[in-house]
Amino acid sequence: MIDRRLIDLPAAMAIVMLAGCSGGTSGSPPTTQPSPVTTSAAPIPSHTPKGIPIPTATVVATSDPAAVVRATVTAGDPRLLPTYVPAGMSSFSVRISPISYTISYTDDQHTRDVLLAVNTGANPPPITGSNGSQTHPQFRGVRALYQVYDATAATSQRYLLWQEPGTWSQPMTTLSGIEYFLVASGLTETEFWRVADSLKAVP
């Protein structure tokens, strides 16, 4: 399971999870009908400049994350989403505001999780065990931070943090570009990078 401490999101937030398509063998998003929208207040990150209002985030139940991101996130471009997740990970939720979004995918048993967070002030904890590894690969044209918490475990929790080249009207950090954070547990190295490499811009 993904350690929710990895991102700066409210601990008591209610996540709306949708059942996925039945019998699917690909990583395509589910096609269930949208459910009602619920809302919860977004936290104000400590590094957000004072005087700038933070929009309220909304937890959205939807069958089309791309459409929700396209309609709601107006802060800038690119707005990325994965076009692949491993087969069986068809339950997902979207938490979104005009300046940020988070989308999470899981399987029915909640043994495999993928989460993509954009402009949320991600603050992943450091590696504490001797089996962890940290590297700085080139990813999408920039130097990224890639961390595996237990390199001896094939499906260990891992994350990738990078500043995507682009423009964002209200960034959460002072670094150039757009903060993107991809985290997963229960996935192999190959599966994780296939998800990462499948990221495409929402038109």
> So what's the pLDDT on residue 60?
78
Please give the model's pTM, rounded to 2 decimal places.
Answer: 0.73
Q: How confident is the model over 173-182, as pLDDT tens digits?
A: 899 999 999 9
Q: How confident is the model over 101-147, as pLDDT tens digits?
A: 999 999 998 999 999 999 998 887 788 889 999 999 999 999 999 99
One-letter identity of residue 20 = G
Q: How confident is the model over 23-76, as pLDDT tens digits?
A: 333 444 433 333 333 333 333 333 444 445 566 778 877 788 999 999 999 999
> So what's the pLDDT on residue 85?
95
Beta-ladder partners of 184:
114, 158
One-letter identity of residue 203 = P
